[in-house]
Amino acid sequence: MPANGQARACSMPLFGIAGWSNAGKTTLIEKLTQHFAERGLRVATIKHTHHKFDIDAPGSDTARHRAAGAAETAIVSGSRVAVIEEIESAGEPALETVAARLNPADIILVEGYKAAAIPKIEVRRSAVAAEKLLAASDPLVLAIAADYEVEAHGKQVFRLDDIAGIASMIEETCGPFKRLRQRA
């Protein structure tokens, strides 16, 4: 929550889940997504990785389209759509650019993007306790979720398993949510 104790709306409903590798970011996003979805909210997620990745299997039709030179490939079924865009010469797009391509959502949970200018919670597990505390230098880290006692640096601290508390803080920061209808 902001220092003045007042909830504030996010200009885009982006909320970051930041931390070091193996801190538990994916698990926290998974639990928050389920929590918000069960409340009837439309949730979207964005995952940042530093690694090159492939979402289609080598030899698949879409992989063959890309290998032939397609700059963008879409695969569509009755239950899912994926768009694969080659961007190597353009470089990594800004978080806001990626978010703008998504369908409207009540909340967009963002994994990674430690330096993004969005409100976020830092995830800490004792297994990676030796890593630098992001909350010490990033004013946009509004809280810390940890499975051990951490120095708070004036931030609210949640138990890593306090999903309802963390979700409430996110809604106070980015809400109130409009409760867009879930897609069937």
Alpha helix (H) ranges present in the chain?
25-38, 61-67, 95-101, 163-174
Inside any domain, residue 143: yes
Total number of domains constituting the chain:
1
User: Could you tell me how many helices (H) and strands (E) the chain has, helices first?
Assistant: 4, 8
Distance of CA 182 to the CA centre of its chain: 18
Rounded to two decimals, the pTM is: 0.84
Inside any domain, residue 69: no
**What is the rounded distance in angstroms from the CA atom of residue 97 to the CA atom of residue 87?**
13
Inside any domain, residue 101: yes
Tell me how far CA of residue 23 lies from CA of 17, 29, 124, in angstroms. Answer: 10, 12, 5
The domain that contains 151 carries what CATH number? Answer: 3.40.50.300
What is the structure's pLDDT at 67? 87
Inside any domain, residue 126: yes
What is the structure's pLDDT at 82? 84
**What is the rounded distance in angstroms from the CA atom of residue 165 to the CA atom of residue 145?**
10
Q: Which residues contact 85 (CB under 8 A, 6 or more apart)?
A: 71, 72
Closest CA to 113 of 101, 104, 124, 122: 122
Inside any domain, residue 142: yes
Query: Which tens digit of pLDDT belongs to each residue from 41-63?
Result: 999 999 987 666 667 788 888 88
Q: What is the mean pLDDT of the chain?
A: 87
Distance between start and end Cα atoms, the chain: 33
Inside any domain, residue 156: yes
Are residues 149 and 128 in contact, defined by beta-carbon separation less than 8 angstroms?
A: no
Containing domain of residue 163, as a range? 14-53+92-174
Inside any domain, residue 104: yes
Inside any domain, residue 122: yes
pLDDT at position 179 over 60? yes
CA atoms within 13 A on the CB side of 97: 5
Are residues 98 and 108 in contact, defined by beta-carbon separation less than 8 angstroms?
A: no
Closest CA to 114 of 138, 147, 144: 138
Span 105-126, mean pLDDT? 94
Predicted confidence band of residue 6 (pLDDT cuts 50, 70, 90) = very low
